[in-house]
Structure 1
């Protein structure tokens, strides 16, 4: 938990978050390159994570700048950026397959309600996936002796709902830990992952490709993003949740999911991406990252050839690296060969804060990619919106997770 007693620091952070949330309302009208006011800065205890190491401070890598339109015209003003932002969204949705309409009022079925320590756990079935599929979820609601204020909330995404709720692998229990800190947490897994409290060690199961037996019209990772956007609506429509203060977090597979969801759906106030691989990376990094490659080319991410039927039992194994002769397929092929990279998605977060909780997939060498998001924020007149912490393992650590919780406390907590 954060130290108590520093009232002025908390007030400053409230102003910092308010400025970030409000920016979309006036960024198109006012372009500013002035230094943000002092109140917009993060507190000293987090400030170091928002600055690249000196060696990367002026490095932008070989990535194409998101501040350039598709026709090569530079983005010079905040009004330009709003048009460029729409262009990026349109490009990525066209490549990945456009979403159907989001669900205005998702159905929510309560399966079971239990008590766990000082909170209530609701086992739910929620209507959030493509085709109106119902998805298993766990909602954690802390006790509130004086229920007079709406609470901040965090959506936790992973292979299954149990892990994020503290009923699975250790150090991935973001929802459970945040609920103990006063947040409402909704933990979801893949749409085809059913809750099983009797087996917390079961394998991750079949990949999610879309509604089984139907033609795949949306890349699986984008389909998961669609589900997360509807899950945001589930949280926002809860009477105890403040819809303006909803974040998202995920690790590894969940980190990819959280990154795409927060970038493509701007109602998420802030986000944490734990070691997802924040850029396309076809290098052989098995020594540095024994847990696996940054495998967006796999069919359950962006490599599906749209139109084929969703058959998760025959999705195939992890693919070889493209550098090892594996042909690129699906949206991954068209995006990479078209010169696109995930820096374009990172830019869509601006000016909302995000934290990369980096491990062996996302080492400090990723800062040149993040510098592009920093540049977009500067164009909008904002600083200290892009952060990265680093650890030596892909698996989260207690220290890394504490940094995650502090980030959410600083971005989402009500200061009153």
Structure 2
């Protein structure tokens, strides 16, 4: 539990460094609005009370479980069984079953895209030749201006920076990285020794793009009447099936891919997505909903990402449904923290992976004695295990074992890969392993 607490302190500090750019008065106002909007959604759903999520404080009466021995038994929805109980026998059946699963995620968890999402027009703000480490690169600073003619009161832009190697002789693969909007003057800590993830990609001759999700949808409940969600709702509050922030962030990745399809330096058929923590959740959602993405590098995404939600270890549905995190999801999702339970949820994380099939998904997580157990490494591994039968039905490879591997073991034989590195809450130590994995698909 001490390790769990350390992770929560780290996450609070990480998010706090971003949130700290707001004054205390502004933070109080955002939190107040988030609680008000959360209560309004509860009222729409006819919910009077929600269960509280477990605490990261080991001394708290409701401390989160961190021990595998205390994980309860549970039953997962079978991705290879239709809602009417009939079995999926072949690839043609799977197309219909995939549509069923996607509809359940739309309605009950991540929300639906509205029909009236406006167009995005991309502008190159600046283009400069420079060095990234020892690598000559061209950096393009772009702005995706979203048409707000239907509701001029809200202006939305997508911030994206594309870095490509100068010596490329043909269009190159690229990775889209969900990045943080760091406060001015703040330098994020370097992850370990050796070359950065950017330098490692450039060493392969690949490009990378840094997409700032909070530029077009804020990471708080108060922002749901602003950003791209607010624009499509004309400043009004959401209905229970409307899209949440994770789906909006994923939508932004799709619009970024639209731009990359027009850039002659990038091979748009070889573009992947990477994210860590909440952005790891966004990355797997983007993979699931954007078929043009070729590969996913999903870092410590935990609950709401690639962790089995039915496992009572670490973060739980009740945490996700709180006023601090509910904005990531459709309003309907909070009902699973009261009166319903996680066992009533018709989907789980393994089904999010299967709607990526058969594209490769690399699941990354840190060591439990460094990162902690809040993200539930085994729960993410098991999601890959339970997604594997679908990949195999479609002629691809899943995970080679259902036994949780030792720290540092690299399970990369199939289109679902898993590695638990020896570091903390970062994808840093796994970048080299992911790149080696991606090379077999990109080259």
Compute the TM-score of the two structures, normalised by the length of structure 1: 0.65
**Which of 302, 306, 317 is 2:329 aligned to?**
302
Equivalent in the alignment of 2:356: 349
Distance 1:379 1:127, change over 3 A: farther
| Helix, strand or coil at the partner of 1:73 | coil
Equivalent in the alignment of 2:49: none
Matches within 5 A, 1:37-52: none
The structural deviation recorded for 1:61 is: 6.7
Which range is displaced more, 205-214 or 82-91?
A: 205-214
Matches within 5 A, 1:301-340: 301-302=328-329, 304=331, 328=337, 337-340=344-347
**Which of 247, 257, 260 is 1:222 aligned to?**
247
When the two chains are superposed, the root-mean-square deviation of aligned CA atoms in Å is 3.7
Distance 1:161 1:267, change over 3 A: farther
Equivalent in the alignment of 2:21: none
Distance 1:374 1:137, change over 3 A: same
The structural deviation recorded for 1:389 is: 0.2
- The answer as to 2:293 corresponding to 1:279 is no
- The answer as to 2:197 corresponding to 1:170 is no
CA distance in 2, matches of 1:174, 1:156: 10
Equivalent in the alignment of 2:280: 255
Distance 1:403 1:233, change over 3 A: same
Equivalent in the alignment of 2:130: 116
**Which of 190, 212, 215 is 1:189 aligned to?**
212
Equivalent in the alignment of 2:121: 107
CA distance in 1, matches of 2:331, 2:198: 31
Equivalent in the alignment of 1:16: none
| Helix, strand or coil at the partner of 2:87 | coil
Equivalent in the alignment of 2:365: 358
CA distance in 1, matches of 2:420, 2:191: 15
CA deviations 1:212-257 (Å, max 9, x no partner) are 5443331111111111122221212212222211111111111111
Q: Give the total of aligned pairs.
A: 316
Q: Are the aligned partners of 2:360 and 2:415 in contact in 1 as well (CA < 8 Å)? A: yes
The structural deviation recorded for 1:86 is: 1.4
Q: Are the aligned partners of 1:126 and 1:136 in contact in 2 as well (CA < 8 Å)? A: yes
Matches within 5 A, 1:374-413: 374-383=388-397, 384-396=414-426, 398-412=428-442
List gaps (5 residues or longer) in structure 1: 1-59, 195-203, 287-291, 307-321
List gaps (5 residues or longer) in structure 2: 1-72, 367-371, 398-413
- The answer as to 2:269 corresponding to 1:239 is no
Q: Are the aligned partners of 1:106 and 1:233 in contact in 2 as well (CA < 8 Å)? A: no
Equivalent in the alignment of 2:32: none
CA distance in 2, matches of 1:392, 1:337: 35
Q: Are the aligned partners of 2:74 and 2:311 in contact in 1 as well (CA < 8 Å)? A: no
The structural deviation recorded for 1:109 is: 1.4
Q: Are the aligned partners of 2:173 and 2:267 in contact in 1 as well (CA < 8 Å)? A: yes
Equivalent in the alignment of 1:126: 144
Q: Are the aligned partners of 2:101 and 2:347 in contact in 1 as well (CA < 8 Å)? A: no
CA distance in 2, matches of 1:387, 1:102: 37
Matches within 5 A, 1:41-80: 62-80=75-93
CA deviations 1:241-295 (Å, max 9, x no partner) are 2221111111111111101000121111111101101125376756xxxxx7785
